[in-house]
Structure 1
Amino acid sequence: MRTSYQYRLKPNKEQREIIDNTLDMLRCQYNYQLAQRFNWYERNRCSIDRCLLICHLPELSEKPNRFSQQASLKQLKIDRPWYKNIHSQVLQEVPKRVEIAFDKWLAGDSNGKKAGRPRFKGVGQYKTFTYPQFKQHHFVGNKITLSKIGDVKVIVHRPIPDGFVIKTVSVTKKANGYYVTLSLDDKTVPTIKPDFNADNIVGIDVGLIAFYVASDNTRIAAPKHLRKAERKLKSAQRKVSRRKKGSNRRKKAIQKVGIKHKKVADARKDFHFKTAKILLSKYDVIAVEKLNIKGLARTRLAKSIHDAGWSQFRNILEFKAENAGLRVIAVNPNSTSQECSSCGHKVKKSLSQRIHNCPVCHTSLCRDLNAAINIKARGTHALKAQFMSSMTSP
């Protein structure tokens, strides 16, 4: 079982300067190695798809990869001795991040959809560095020992569970301070719940009025964290626009805006975790729609969709379900609101029409409840198909 715990760090003034300098040096190295990749791409690509029988092609340069860029770090420390102040494994994580971003741009994701071109990071945009290996005895009590930084005070608001081993440690700078994220692992925890019941299934239909409506007609209202904080955010952003660019007052105003945005994001994330806990405490299988959130976010409802955070909620739900030995089934969302949950007849309706009225079987109920029942039916069918395939496979 793999999980993560995040604690707040309380570094002193000297340690804060070291962390800030480390992040800035890593940012410069990230931009330099990303530029190497772009330079190779521009030199070696060609838009011409045919050539003469006799031609002279320019010599192609070797493609930089993670290992070649990691090997160049030795010379980097000779040319720029101040990079010796960064732990070697932390510095080696930079080429790894560059390769992930660059390859994702060229190859695309698992569905073949290409991501946007990786961007160079400006000042303050590189916020995290990672220690890929960590010794357990370096975290004792409320102190954590970080190489090249020293012993840093940690606010341990919850203890690490017994049996879990720290695998990696990440240090992150946020708007309101510094945080450390511990990646924990315990291979003795079972991956499947002993009393797992596949018949204890529910379908949920997410929305903007109700955050979700379940197939058993339970629902939770959408909290609308961003909408409620808009007035305070506008006031804080107005102060930023009034400050002189480059002044300390503008930097402080920007920091206050960041703190307010973080407060909204934390409230949303806390709501998602609590909602996931409610669902997983009642059901063993949860069927959800496999929505195209990016496509929906291009509509006029973009702000409300981002405020709801459906994608984050689904990721949290899947993560918590996996740790609890439960299941989350993603189903096709097409026509879940249009099909009648009783007879299957398609009843076309606009988004403003909130009641489903079937002219065939005369079923009348909330359209969200009708969609949740259809989602449950599709999830049940998908679960049975997965079970049958697992039984027939050698």
Structure 2
Amino acid sequence: MRSSYQYRLRPTKLQAIEIDRWLSMLCAQYNYLLAERFNWYEQNSSPINACPLVCHLPELRDNPEYYSQKKTLPQLKKTHPWYAEIYSQVLQDVVKRVKVSFDRFLKGDSNGKRSGRPRFQPRSRYRTFTYPQVKDGCLQNNLINLPRLGKVKVVLHRSIPNGFKIKTVSITKKADAYYLTLSLEDSTVPTIKPDFNPQKITGIDVGLKNFLTTSEGETVAIPQHYRKAGKRLRTIQKRVSRRKKGSNRRQKAVKQLGKCHKKVAEKRKDFHFKTANELLKKYDVVAVENLNIKGLARTKLAKSVLDAGWSSFLSILTNKAVNAGVLVIPVSAYNTSQDCSSCGEKVPKKLHIRWHDCPHCGCSLDRDHNAAIGIKNRAVGHPVLKAQSMSEAIAGVTEKPTPMVTACVGVGVCHIAKGSVR
């Protein structure tokens, strides 16, 4: 299992100056390597529908791939001696970042989904560099020993769990301070509990009226951190707009705006973590909708959807569930609000109608509560949950007649039997 812990750094003035120098030089190198790849791409590509029948074919240039660009770093240190002051693996990691961004543009990620054209980074947007490898025991008490930077003070607000090993170290410059991100790994952390309690299965429906509603009818209010900070953000944004570009006063206002946005983001993140912890303490299985959040963020509800941060919450819930041994099951979001959770019949209703009344079976409850029950019903027939239930049932038959749970596909009812499966 891989997880990340972030701490605040307290570098000295000389260390802070050195970190800023490194970021400036690494940004320039990133843009140079990216430009080299774009030159090759543009000079060696030709649109099929616009290519003449008879034309001169220029000699193809060598493709500036990962290893060929990596071999240019020793020569870079000779022509630009100040780059020799940067730790070698940190400089090599820039080549890897260029490779990953360009490959996603041409080939796509592991799922085949392509990203947009990589952008050249201005100095203000290039804020992170990474040590791909660190020595064991580099973190001692509240000091971390980093090559070429020395020992830097860290605010250890929480200790690293036993058994985890530090794989990579990243330093990020944010609006208010420098931060250290440790990537930790431990292969012994369980992924799923060996057995689950059939009474501790829930479905959650995220929304904009309430942040989420569980299948038991519990609701969590939506905090709307961005909307509450809107007045303050508008005031600072006007201050930025009125000041002259490139001036020190504008730079000061931009930093103030960044701090305000960071505060909103940290409040939202803290709310997501606390909400996820409460769910994982109560339940062994949590069913969620497999939402197209990017599509929802392009609608009229974009501001509210992004303020709620559903994507971030579901990511945090999934990652923390792995550590807790809890199973998080994504199910289809199709018609969860329209289908009746009692009889399964479709009951069409528009978005402003917040109450579900089924004319077929008489089921009457809140729209979000109905959707949460429907999500739980769909999760009961999930292959992972079903396979685990069957394995428990087989173990119960061969060993001793103990109560067990099996799931019926498409029906939100758990059948309890003794010594047999039905």
Give TM class, smaller chain.
Answer: over 0.9
> Any unmatched runs of 5+ in structure 2?
392-422
How far the C-alpha of 1:161 sits from its partner, in A, is: 2.2
Cα 1:198–1:318 shift into 2, 3 Å: farther
1:295 aligned partner: 295
Q: In structure 2, the residue corresponding to 1:259 is in which secondary structure?
A: helix
How far the C-alpha of 1:193 sits from its partner, in A, is: 2.7
2:364 aligned partner: 364
- C-alpha RMSD of the superposition: 2.1
The letter for the 1-side match of 2:377 is: A
What CA distance in whole angstroms lies between the structure 2 residues aligned with 1:110 and 1:187?
A: 22
Q: In structure 2, the residue corresponding to 1:171 is in which secondary structure?
A: strand
Query: Conserved in 2, the CA contact under 8 Å of 1:329 and 1:383?
Result: no
Matched, 1:175 2:163: no
Matched, 1:38 2:49: no
How far the C-alpha of 1:7 sits from its partner, in A, is: 1.0
The 5-angstrom pairing of residues 92-171 of structure 1 reads 92-171=92-171
How far the C-alpha of 1:38 sits from its partner, in A, is: 1.2
Matched, 1:23 2:27: no
How far the C-alpha of 1:204 sits from its partner, in A, is: 0.5
1:74 aligned partner: 74
2:60 aligned partner: 60
What CA distance in whole angstroms lies between the structure 1 residues aligned with 2:233 and 2:56?
A: 60
> Any unmatched runs of 5+ in structure 1?
none
How far the C-alpha of 1:246 sits from its partner, in A, is: 1.8
The letter for the 1-side match of 2:254 is: I
The 5-angstrom pairing of residues 298-337 of structure 1 reads 298-337=298-337
The letter for the 2-side match of 1:254 is: V
Cα 1:126–1:54 shift into 2, 3 Å: closer
Query: Conserved in 1, the CA contact under 8 Å of 2:85 and 2:148?
Result: yes
What CA distance in whole angstroms lies between the structure 1 residues aligned with 2:298 and 2:46?
A: 33
How far the C-alpha of 1:110 sits from its partner, in A, is: 4.5
1:2 aligned partner: 2
The letter for the 1-side match of 2:43 is: R
Q: Deviations over 1:215-251 (max 9, x none)?
A: 1101101110001111111111122122222222211
2:278 aligned partner: 278
How far the C-alpha of 1:384 sits from its partner, in A, is: 5.2
Q: Deviations over 1:359-383 (max 9, x none)?
A: 1112111111111111111111124
1:380 aligned partner: 380
Query: Conserved in 2, the CA contact under 8 Å of 1:175 and 1:262?
Result: yes
The letter for the 2-side match of 1:119 is: R
What CA distance in whole angstroms lies between the structure 2 residues aligned with 1:386 and 1:83?
A: 57
Cα 1:153–1:52 shift into 2, 3 Å: closer
Query: Conserved in 1, the CA contact under 8 Å of 2:380 and 2:386?
Result: no
The letter for the 2-side match of 1:113 is: K
What CA distance in whole angstroms lies between the structure 2 residues aligned with 1:369 and 1:345?
A: 16
1:86 aligned partner: 86
- Please report the TM-score for the alignment, with normalisation by the length of structure 1: 0.94
Cα 1:241–1:126 shift into 2, 3 Å: same
Cα 1:380–1:352 shift into 2, 3 Å: same
What CA distance in whole angstroms lies between the structure 2 residues aligned with 1:334 and 1:275?
A: 25
2:186 aligned partner: 186
2:235 aligned partner: 235
The structure number with the bigger radius of gyration is: 2
What CA distance in whole angstroms lies between the structure 2 residues aligned with 1:68 and 1:389?
A: 53
Q: In structure 2, the residue corresponding to 1:95 is in which secondary structure?
A: helix
What CA distance in whole angstroms lies between the structure 1 residues aligned with 2:386 and 2:20?
A: 49
Query: Conserved in 1, the CA contact under 8 Å of 2:192 and 2:327?
Result: no
Q: Number of aligned pairs?
A: 391
Q: Deviations over 1:257-312 (max 9, x none)?
A: 10110000001001111111011111111111111111111111111110000000
The letter for the 2-side match of 1:75 is: Q
1:258 aligned partner: 258
Q: Deviations over 1:152-203 (max 9, x none)?
A: 1111111222222211111010001001011122333333334434663211
> Which shifted more, 44-53 or 360-369?
44-53
Query: Conserved in 2, the CA contact under 8 Å of 1:206 and 1:212?
Result: yes
How far the C-alpha of 1:112 sits from its partner, in A, is: 3.6
Cα 1:141–1:336 shift into 2, 3 Å: same
Q: Percent identity between the aligned chains? A: 59
1:340 aligned partner: 340
The letter for the 1-side match of 2:269 is: K
What CA distance in whole angstroms lies between the structure 2 residues aligned with 1:43 and 1:197?
A: 61
Q: In structure 2, the residue corresponding to 1:365 is in which secondary structure?
A: strand
How far the C-alpha of 1:49 sits from its partner, in A, is: 6.0
The letter for the 2-side match of 1:72 is: T
How far the C-alpha of 1:387 sits from its partner, in A, is: 2.0
1:212 aligned partner: 212
What CA distance in whole angstroms lies between the structure 2 residues aligned with 1:274 and 1:54?
A: 66
Cα 1:207–1:79 shift into 2, 3 Å: same
What CA distance in whole angstroms lies between the structure 1 residues aligned with 2:282 and 2:271?
A: 17
Query: Conserved in 1, the CA contact under 8 Å of 2:107 and 2:114?
Result: yes
How far the C-alpha of 1:2 sits from its partner, in A, is: 2.4
